[in-house]
A and B are shown apart, each in its own frame.
Chain A
Amino acid sequence: MAERIDAEMRCEEAETRLLELMEEELPPGRRAEALSHLRACTACATEFSAYRDLLGLVRADSVPEPSPRFWDEFLPSLKHRIEQEIARGKQEPAAGLAGLRSWFALPRPLIAGLALAAVSILIVIRLPGFLPIGFDRQVVQPSAERVAGRGGASGDLAVAPNADDGRRASGEPLVVAGEVVEDPSILAAAIQRLPWVDEIAERVEAAWVLRPGADPEEWIASLSEEERQILLDRLRGFRWSQS
């Protein structure tokens, strides 16, 4: 009786090792013991063989091949979903949208320049209800020359009214970190130095790349009210030294 129990125990132990043996996960000593047991025990050897057959059957379990059209449409459909998501404004802040640019087959330097300009324009031109540019609008009375900056766009920047922003007075110059903004790109640069807001700027940029001819309001349609408010707050407290 004792011998039978011992034999059963050995088989039980071997059985627990069968899969590990098959997986080649047993240390050399135990592997040798298991193999030795299989040579002596027909029942365990049969069981081992059954496991091996079973895994062979599992490996042969194939996935039905979709039609060629399925794969032809897979990537375009995915891109469409990404574009839709951007349009709906449901994209997460962490979205990596940089890769979207080349889908539109534009040279990267051009894209980069246009995107920077887009973000700048977006912020400085009149956007009722959006991006009320209220950051650091301290009492600064710049000279006409400084406000004019490089040209017309900068001039617009300095006087752009925003009816929806009570913190901004019409005609008041825009100031970032205590400096009157002479170049719209300064605003974009400030935004891009804000870690979290950088994602927002990127989303706006991507939206513009997708719809360059659209109204600027559409470019920032993907921003939620909360995101717009965060952008505003971060810019208000922005200092160049923090970047």
Chain B
Amino acid sequence: MREADFELIDRFLQGDGTAFDELVRKRQREVYNLAYRMTRNAEDARDISQEAFLQVYRKLRGFDRRSRLSTWLYRIVVNLCLNHLNRSSRSPHFLGDQQPELADPSEGSLGRLEEKERQDALARAIETLPPQQRASLTLRVHHHLAHREIAEILGVSEATAKVHYFHAVKALRRKLANLREGA
């Protein structure tokens, strides 16, 4: 994968514009998915995805290849998402209409919630996470990155990246446990 990516970059730098098309097509879904999971908003995810590839286009020549292309790309996406979340000073899209805490004991235990309800509850819980924790969780669980790579993306130490991830999981556990206990 790494070699294939570098080959695409070489082709692009040699003037083969179809290489950039290939790169976009190859990576667009994972970029969009990452942006969506960070913002929880389709429109924001689309804008961020486009902006990310625009930055790739601008900066690809300066990519030093010390990391994988995907790591570099994710870093761009995550930074855009963090900036977006900081700018909007609200965590995700539908938080304005929702209570960040999940606990509605009348809904019953986690085990008895319908699938959609559980996923909605989880989504809301994720949206209450600080952005860096959310990024760590997403990159780890959905993009299967090592903590070392996540650290590189977030610009923190590996230990800090792990802490973000563990805090995220524990926070979700607490929030979902509220439901269970309230049953």
Contacts and interface: CB of A to CB of B under 8 A. Distances in A.
Main SS of chain B's interface residues?
A: helix
Nearest to A97: B57
Given A58-B141, A61-B126, A98 B173 contact: no
Contact of B119 (A57, A82, A102, A103): A57
Contact of A66 (B15, B19, B42, B177): B42
Interface in A42-95: 50-51, 54-55, 57-64, 66, 70-71, 74-75, 77-78, 81-82, 85, 91-92, 94-95
Interface in B8-28: 12-21, 24-25, 28
B144 to A, nearest CB: 10
B84 to A, nearest CB: 17
Interface size class of B (residues with CB under 8 A): 35 or more
A94 B58 CA distance: 6
Contacts of A55: 141, 169
Contacts of A77: 50
Contacts, number: 103
Contact of A63 (B19, B32, B61, B122): B32
Given A94-B62, A96-B60, A102 B15 contact: yes
Contact of B17 (A19, A58, A91, A99): A99
A51 B173 contact: yes
A153 interface: no
B122 A96 contact: no
B17 A96 contact: no
B36 A82 contact: no
Contacts of B33: 63
Main SS of chain A's interface residues?
A: helix
A81 B51 CA distance: 9
Contacts of B165: 19
Contact of A103 (B17, B62, B172): B17
A4 interface: no
Nearest to A85: B54
A102 B122 contact: no
Contacts of A57: 118-119, 122
Nearest to B168: A58
B69 interface: no
B73 interface: no
Given A94-B59, A96-B58, A100-B17, A74 B24 contact: yes
A74 B19 CA distance: 16
A108 interface: yes
Given A51-B169, A57-B118, A101-B15, A94 B57 contact: no
Interface string B118-138: 110011001000000000010
Q: Which 8 A-B pairs have the closest CB atoms?
A: A102-B17, A96-B61, A99-B17, A103-B17, A99-B12, A98-B15, A99-B20, A63-B33
5 contacts: A57-B119, A62-B119, A78-B54, A94-B59, A101-B17
Given A50-B177, A64-B36, A99-B12, 9 more contacts: A50-B173, A63-B33, A66-B46, A74-B50, A94-B59, A98-B12, A98-B14, A98-B15, A103-B17
Interface of B: 12-21, 24-25, 28-29, 32-33, 36-37, 42, 46, 49-50, 53-54, 57-62, 118-119, 122-123, 126, 137, 141-142, 165-166, 169-170, 172-173, 176-177
